[in-house]
Structure 1
Amino acid sequence: MPAPGEPLTIGQILPRAIGYLEKKGVEKPRLEAEVLLSAVLGLERIQLYVQFERPLTSQEVDRYRELVAQRGQRVPTAYLVGHKEFFSLEFKVTPAVLIPRPETERLVEVALSWLKRQAEEKEALAELPGRGAGVREAAKLLVADVGTGSGVVAVTIARELGERCHVYALDLSPEALAVAAENAARHGVESRITFLQGDLLSPLQALGLEGKLEAVLSNPPYIPSALLDRLAPEVSRYEPRLALDGGVDGLAVFRRLVPQAGVFLKPGGLLACEMGEDQGKGIEQIIRSQGWFGEPAFYKDYAGRPRVVAVERRAEWAEEVGAGEGAGLGGGRARGPDAGRSEGEG
């Protein structure tokens, strides 16, 4: 304990914060306490222990106590510090957007694998003799990110593909779009992303993009309504319900998005979505009920749970629902993001 009037040091205040968060039921209280103190002091976590005897100013102590108290009320750390890492990039987050999670990185990996292959094929065709700059520009991949939130999917895709793509980032929330636009500027891809407010893919109608998208990507709301209040307090109390609530069975948005994607995707285009681990069969039924698509493939997250569904649009709309069963992505042969391999089918 410091003598009266002496400033607290890192080594003195950190254990108190850890103990407090532990009593409040916060998972990984040491990590959480360290992250918050690092944010207040502008240090890396390892530096806290290198500077264990560093005295804190009264302003630093007050700010840290405020953050720890809020974390004890289960306000998510990402909202308190204002950022979260995704795909090795730092993204601004606010209570207007979902906090990025590793499961969504899997969606990006699946999409990038497929998109990079398409880009390589188009570039090879554009370089054939007699092909001009107009052909190369037409080879640019048009991608929609539906429900962009903080923009992690749109920004990561734009960074990874560079000038080979243009992304339309769509969201119903203007507050979310403002955050996404800031993140695009932060990572230097604002010229490759168009931000549009509206419901699902509907804003693209005014742009005449029916049948022109290479890919439709989405991390849609997929939590069943009845389960929302059973989630961790950090999620149920603070993250935006609009981005979580998937209706009675969690599939309400999928039922609307799948047919819309069929309209806007070009033949052979990709629809890839994050999903709940037990929703594979329901999503497959939705896809089969539409004549637009071939066979879906399911991909596992890092914990081994089915987390991403990917399916290609047919070259022609199938009059008979379920026609072409047994074909891989794209029909005829498997052309999914990982050579058409279907993982952890739900």
Structure 2
Amino acid sequence: MTCFSGITPSGGATLGNYLGAISRWARDGRPGDLYFVSDLHGMTGAYHPQRLRARTRELLATLLAAGIEPEQLFVQSDLLPQLGALTWILECSCSFGEAARMTQFKEKSSAKGLEATPVRVGLFTYPVLMAADILLQGADEVPVGEDQAQHVELARTLARRFNGTFGDAFVVPRAVTPPAAARVRDLADPSRKMDKSARDSVGVLYVMDPPDLLRRKIRRAVTDSLGRLEYRPVEQPGLANLLEILAACTGKPVREVGAGFGSYGDLKEAVAEAVVDELRPVRERTTELLAESAELDRIRARGAELATARGAHRLATAQRLAGVG
């Protein structure tokens, strides 16, 4: 049984990424599970090549620093020859209507501010690339949120269609709901999630932020004028966000974690120290790995070698059955 998940280097890893996914992968992952940095997915909109490369490297180091085993990790673009071939085969099994129904494409392609930026074909076809990611590695389970569930369903559809038309080549994956995690919201606007690609980073806590910067951002977090230290997500979303962060970092129940604080300021100081303590070992180890360039390159190359070997027979089978290669 292989559980398969990835993270896109659209920005540095945030506290939300760490608490909601990365630390859980390291803590609860099984020996056969696979995790990858999906740098090809970061090319579907405007991007800076050197920044993409640097963020990919930093994310790989962060996943390692969090405790994920090296043999479970790889970088997506290192499999480009395999993925390119399989994506084309799957695109030739996918109808235009199926691709056009993808909600993320419809939302992103119609978003305000895109008038001067042409919508890229890659944004339209990337769900098929995501299907190739999943099917190439023979993944059984894909933990996703609601925004990606439709893409996993497309992977299931394409796998079943190919198997039924040409012969068995792929495991049919299933989407699974990941364990409940802290809902980390933007500190400056708790109505939105803490997004690593946010244009305004004043309310975003990054894993690689130095301690003083983390403290400053948390001290400036939006709260309210009610002065009640209670967990009330609807009435007091900013305060609830701070309580959820503190609960996730300390392992205490969110409805109890605020007890004993006399003011919002006191609570913010406690949240700041908890976040600094939570992220310090990961940030320090990430920094060490980035400085150990040759070692990080070796780990990445080995991950690519293992991932390529895992997918080789599956791709060869698909090519043979499809009449190419």
Q: Higher strand proportion, which one?
A: 1
TM-score (norm 2): 0.29
Q: Name the structure with the higher helix share.
A: 2
TM-score, normalised via structure 1 length: 0.27
Greater RCO (Cα-Cα under 8 Å, separation 6 or more):
2
Between Structure 1 and Structure 2, whose CA radius of gyration is higher?
1
